[in-house]
Chain A
Amino acid sequence: MAPVAWWPPPAALWPAVPVAALVAWLTLRGTPRADGRRAWLLAVLRGLSVLLLATGLALPHSPAPIPSQTLPEVTLAVDTSLSMSLPGKQAGRTRLSEALQALQGLSGELRARGAEAPRVLAFDESTRPVAEAGALQTRGAGTDLSACLEGLAAQGVRGDVVVLGDGQDTSGAGAQQVGALAAAHGMRLLGLCTEGLSELKDVAVDGLSGPRRVRAGSTVNLVAQVRVRGFEGGGLKAELLRDGQIEARAAVPGKGGTLALKARAGGVGQHRYALRVAPQTGELSAANNAAAVTVEVIPDKPRVLLVAGAPSPEYARLKALLLDDPGLRVSCYVVKGASGQLWRDDTKLEAVQSLTGLEQMNAIIALGTPAALLEGATERVRGGLGLLVAPGPGAAGLGSAAAALLPLRPSGQRVATGGVPPRLNAGGALGKALAEAGARVADLATPRTVLQTRAVAGAETVLSGGGRALLGAWTVGRGRVAALTTDETYRWLLSAQADARSRQGYARFWGALAGWLTAPQPTAPVTAQLDRDTYETGDTARLVVQVSDGQGRPVPGASVEARWSGPALPTEPGRCTPLDGTAGAYQALMALERAGEVKVAVTARQGGRLLGKAEARAQVLEATRELRQPEANPAWLAAACEASGGKLLKEAKVAQLLPEGKEEIPAQHHRAPEPWVLGLVVGLWAADWWLRRRWWG
């Protein structure tokens, strides 16, 4: 408010002057002449008091109005999201430049009417004050008007908010919701929509959908929605890419529509499938010509390799059982010939010295297998390969090269078990698995003979019979290893006592064993995960790293480093900070400004010792939320304005956007004497009385 002047204009003083002079003369006449100086003093005091009183009580009569209230506040909010960079209605201008032009006009109108400079804000996904409107650029990857209004309400802003934008809002809030929010906070929305071109030419891939997860080797079925405007003549081609490589091409229907596509699954891990249509001449925006989806390829069924040192009923029955299991992929090898020739099923292999392709296997079941064939398996066991070794007629069996890995070590020849029913120790992991699988070992006949063995310290004797171990198990590194001391489990199928229960028991026993051997390996010591697999430019990626020891326990206090690679990303590695509240967890943030593939390689150390490494990947797309449907949406803006009690107006009637608040010309009012003036007058009268008494009694 403008300060109110308390000191009256000079013209109001003149009537009080002669009155004060008259009072001073009368005082002099009433005072004895002998006291000239005292008389003059008293005359001055009384004249001054009269002058002050008269001035304080004088009714102001100023011809100029003194405003006590200005025009209501007006806030101008300009949309600076990406869609405002699209062409406006005027050739060579963008929507933002047209909005700024309207902003300039509004500001001028308000100033001309004596209003204070309006508050100007820029909003997209965030809201910020604007000092220099002319310097505004589009930047936001989305539009959130409701967040803007919330921010204004928090600052105590009320009154009219003029929204200059294209009516797009990517926050998902409804127009009614936004208008009601404004009204609830005492704001009224007035809209000015910069609509852009009336005839749009645009091709947009609205979405690409597919399965979240598929098995390795399978086909990925994808569905895309494509919109075509202005290019209905046809001839458009779409490309399907997997991890940046073209997988397939498809013709886009003339009027757009749904495209069904097929692609290969790729290797285990995450793969990015993208559909893109080449930018077309005259197209409104090419940023919405592609869409992507991430599909996770999971390992196929667990792969089991069954290998036998010689044909045997044990091999034949187990092979039949495993091949019949729909949850497994089984490869069968057997040494048939006396010369040691290896066969895969019924195909003779040429000069195979040891098994190959073990890296693709989850478990090996070796029945009386020669040591040389298992050479390559030993190291892989520590890396997670499951291994079961049983004796057989063709080789030393448990005395193989893998013997050092086995929980049971041979200590003698085969001995008779006496037919005592086997006993299951369900305390350990494998025993528990067998029990849970319903492998009722009581229904199974103890094999007639078993190989004499001794259990290694720390190994679990899962099954025993007649005082002899039948099955032992433990883990070596990340691999699970079991040892059977018999090759006669087939008798659970082929014996005079075999019945439905024993046959079921056989199936469950081996099923549980295979499941235990191929079970997912313990968590890697270091895992890295990004919070999303798809970002848009302007987003911030959050990396979370979990560090654990060999037993899966979190490791606090580790030194975790992340090296990012991708467009416009720093090449130097950065430290990950511990994540509050989660032991063994660390995090890092990275702003993503450019589109492309992003990889982050994580290394964890403690005390100089390497704990492990991990990697995470993601894709950064150009911000397309704003451009998915590039046309302006005046209907949305109009609905939001009306819901708040405002309206949407055409550009030509800018002046109507001025607030309807009237100028208030305050009525004249009495100006009561200021308290200090009255105090001074009283003081002067008191001084007059005191001096009279003192001088003249």
Chain B
Amino acid sequence: MRWRGALWAGLMLVGLAAGVARGQGDEALVVARLKYGGGGDWYANPTGLPNLIRAVNSRTKIRLAPTPAVVEPGSPRLFDYPVVFITGHGNIAFTPAERANLRRYLLGGGFLHIDDNYGLDEFLRPELRKLFPDRRLTELPFSHPVYHCFYPFARGLPKVHEHHGGPPHGYGLLDKGRVMVFYSYNTDLNDGWEDEEVHKDSPTARESALRMGVNLVVYALTH
């Protein structure tokens, strides 16, 4: 008799969990980290995205699933995630099929944020040229909505970490005026999203980074 009771209880729990999961899955959007090829550390800054998600959920009306997904660029599941993040320090490379899939994703309305963790730039730019041979990375002016759509950034990207000297740069690949790829360079936003103890960044720097991250998600879901 006991095992029947346990069985029923287990089934109820499973049902309840499934219902909760379904509800969450249905109503909460899921963002993803792109697991790219080429050997680079796509998995860098593991606490960054979850912190960003928490900031988005607490500060905006957007509901993101607390745990980001991981998706490969050639996967059909890529289209399940309206916002995808790339970070890393080293090589990044896409296969032709992955490029085709990425292109369809981006032109279909997807948004990709690429954050140079330091060292990604020299590998990324050639790949982006292959991804969209007919488009060039364009530095976005400070007046662009990505800098004002939630938090105001009158001087553009916040500087989190020093990489190459000089100011940070925000570049975009555009489609009919919409930024489908935003590339943050010489700032390291992902480091700013990480837990405080990881990089010991100042609260101001972390807050600026998180705010910029919130802006990126808001922009992606309103443009």
Q: Which residues of A contact B (CB under 8 A)?
A: 309-313, 315-317, 319-320, 324, 334-338, 340, 345-346, 393-394, 413-414, 416, 448-449, 490-491, 493-496, 498, 503
Contacts and interface: CB of A to CB of B under 8 A. Distances in A.
B21 interface: no
13 contacts: A311-B61, A317-B109, A320-B178, A336-B218, A336-B222, A338-B60, A346-B145, A393-B62, A414-B27, A493-B108, A494-B82, A495-B108, A496-B78
Nearest to B64: A393
B23 interface: yes
A339 to B, nearest CB: 9
Given A338-B59, A494-B79, A313 B221 contact: yes
A313 B109 contact: yes
B76 A337 contact: no
Nearest to B59: A338
Contact of B110 (A336, A394, A448, A494): A494
B63 interface: yes
Interface of B: 22-23, 26-29, 58-63, 76-79, 82, 104-105, 108-110, 145, 148-150, 176, 178, 217-218, 220-223
Contact of B79 (A336, A337, A340, A495): A495
Given A311-B61, A338-B59, A494-B108, A324 B176 contact: yes
A336 B28 contact: no
Contacts of A311: 60-62, 217-218, 221-222
B63 to A, nearest CB: 5
A494 B109 contact: yes
Nearest to B222: A311
A313 B80 CA distance: 11
B150 A336 contact: yes
A393 to B, nearest CB: 5
Contact of A309 (B61, B220, B221): B61
A414 B26 contact: yes
A490 B105 CA distance: 12
Contact of A494 (B22, B63, B105, B176): B105
A362 B14 CA distance: 48
Contacts of B218: 311, 336
Contact of B61 (A310, A313, A317): A310
Given A338-B58, A494-B105, A413 B23 contact: yes
A448 B109 CA distance: 18
A328 B26 CA distance: 32
Given A311-B218, A413-B23, A414-B27, A316 B223 contact: yes
A521 B78 CA distance: 44
Contact of B60 (A310, A316, A319, A495): A310
B82 A313 contact: yes
Shortest Cβ-Cβ A-B pairs, 6 listed: A310-B61, A496-B76, A311-B221, A313-B82, A494-B108, A494-B109
Contacts of B29: 312-313, 393
B221 A316 contact: yes
B223 A320 contact: yes
Contacts of B61: 309-311, 335-338, 340, 393-394
Nearest to A340: B61
A212 B70 CA distance: 61
A394 B61 CA distance: 6
Nearest to B105: A494
B28 to A, nearest CB: 7
A29 B61 CA distance: 155
A449 B80 CA distance: 13
Nearest to B78: A496
Given A336-B60, A337-B150, 17 more contacts: A309-B61, A310-B61, A313-B109, A316-B222, A319-B223, A336-B61, A337-B59, A346-B148, A346-B149, A393-B29, A393-B63, A416-B22, A493-B108, A494-B79, A496-B77, A496-B79, A503-B108
B60 A493 contact: no
A448 B148 CA distance: 33
B71 to A, nearest CB: 12
A309 B27 CA distance: 13
